[in-house]
Amino acid sequence: MADLKNLFLITKHPSTTQIFLTSLFFLSLFLLSSSSLSDFSPSLIVSSFTSRLLTAANFFSSPSSYTSSASDTTMFLSSVSPRRINEPKIDSETKELASCDIFDGTWVFDDSEPVYLPGYCPFVEDKFNCFKNGRPDSGFLRHRWQPHGCSIPRFDGKKMLKMLRGKRVVFVGDSLNRNMWESLVCSLRSTLEDKNRVSKIIGKQSNLPNEGFYGFRFNDFECSIDFIKSPFLVQESEVVDVYGKRRETLRLDMIQRSMTKIYKNADIVIFNTGHWWTHQKTYEGKGYYQEGNRVYERLEVKEAYTKAIHTWADWVDSNINSTKTRVFFVGYSSSHFRKGAWNSGGQCDGETRPIQNETYTGVYPWMMKVVESVISEMKTPVFYMNITKMTWYRTDGHPSVYRQPANPRGTSPAAGMYQDCSHWCLPGVPDSWNQLLYATLLVSHGSLPDKSLGSLL
């Protein structure tokens, strides 16, 4: 309840606006009983309401009456930890975004062109390149995310590259984060007059199959956008059993080694982990999870995931300098398999538009409840990009049968293959995630000139 105490400290000499904000807080508490937030703990809900009011109170209080510490300078906009910005010059668009949950909204029809045209970005992997693989419809590209209560600016790659001049952005996580990474690289590249001014960075590959480093450098801006493959965030390992046979394990108490490359010179780090915890080996948890020299005979996946997220959080708190590096965590991206799982005939082909019923709600992932709880206790400010709801509705955005090229003879590519109903076509849904990332950076920068950005990143 420290945030609640701070709210009243800030309003020691309340203005009319501050009295209104305090009243709004109590009204928010009254409405909790009838809200749709039953999936969240009461303490997290109260913290969320209080954090947003703290943000608003800080906007309206004078700079002389409130001084922030380095640990307080976090992002807000539906973040678990509040971002307090005390810049005196903030335009109306930024102020509107600051008071809005940009992850609570709906998909609306938009006939404008995507940020980059299908088939024109060479950095899209074939498995995400639905256009190249023969997908005939394009209606899934004609929708944009519209938050309730505010408008988000269209993605402006030139402006974002200026904000990122001299910076390093690193995505760390699984193939859904890779989806978002490729989308951002393509979105930024599309704004360049000379597309050849993007260089591929060749990174050292790990001996382990689920690790690796990839990156692109925008030469004219001295900016790099990198990806470190780390589906669990913690270290995959091996042990030798009593029969001398090597067995794979997952070290819940050890951060993935390749992540140690990022903390000294990264300005923005975007983490995720989720989908790999639903696979059979991790879900069953038999002889797979390890702490120290102990390999658990069996461990429930929820307990294992919680241990892993705490390991990640402890590493971030011990190694990330929050005055230099901004930390994001991307939530769980929804899958849409019907009639089976990904490896047992699950399908999503034939979907051409989002779910239109706004009352539809998928099952909120238990993993994200764990993440939200752990983040709320961290000393490092973490901005939580809760993309779960916005992906609930997008049954139409997956590669499905267009995860690989169609048969040269023109037959359907669906016969005898797994459908991909977890990842997303590019261009497509991840472009909207990066639009929200762009909006978030705009808010954190306010209307400051480029030369001042370094102090905020």
Question: Catalytic annotation on 420?
Answer: yes
Return the structure tokens found at 196: 């050849």
Measured on CA atoms in the order 19, 20, 21, 24, is the torsion positive or negative? positive
Return the structure tokens found at 9: 């400290």
Q: What angle do CA 318, 324, 329 make, to 5 degrees?
A: 65
Owner of token pair 């923005």? 268
Give the C-alpha distances (Å, rounded to integers) separating 401 from 135, 278, 418.
9, 22, 8
Return the structure tokens found at 161: 């590259």
Number of alpha carbons in the 13 Å side-chain half-sphere of residue 407: 9
Number of alpha carbons in the 13 Å side-chain half-sphere of residue 434: 30
If one counts every other C-beta atom within 10 angstroms of the C-beta of residue 441, the result is: 19
Catalytic residue among 47, 51, 81, 175: 175
Return the structure tokens found at 326: 């901004």
Question: Catalytic annotation on 279?
Answer: no
> In angstroms, rounded to a whole number, what is the distance separating the alpha carbons of residues 70 and 87?
14
User: 313 and 381 in contact (C-beta within 8 Å)?
Assistant: no
Considering all CA atoms of the chain, what is the largest pairwise distance in Å, rounded to the nearest integer? 76
Question: Catalytic annotation on 112?
Answer: no
Q: What is the DSSP letter of 249?
A: E
Return the structure tokens found at 198: 């993007």
> In angstroms, rounded to a whole number, what is the distance separating the alpha carbons of residues 417 and 371?
34
Catalytic residue among 101, 267, 420, 431: 420
Which DSSP string do the residues of 143-175 spell out, in sequence order? EEEEETT--PPPP-HHHHHHHTTT-EEEEEESH
Catalytic residue among 143, 398, 423, 445: 423
Which DSSP string do the residues of 14-63 spell out, in sequence order? --HHHHHHHHHHHHHHHHGGGSS-TTS-HHHHHHHHHHHHHHHHHHHS-G
User: 119 and 77 in contact (C-beta within 8 Å)?
Assistant: no
Beta-carbon contacts of 136 under 8 Å, excluding residues fewer than 6 positions away, are none
Three-class DSSP category at 202 = strand
- Which of the residues are catalytic? 175, 420, 423
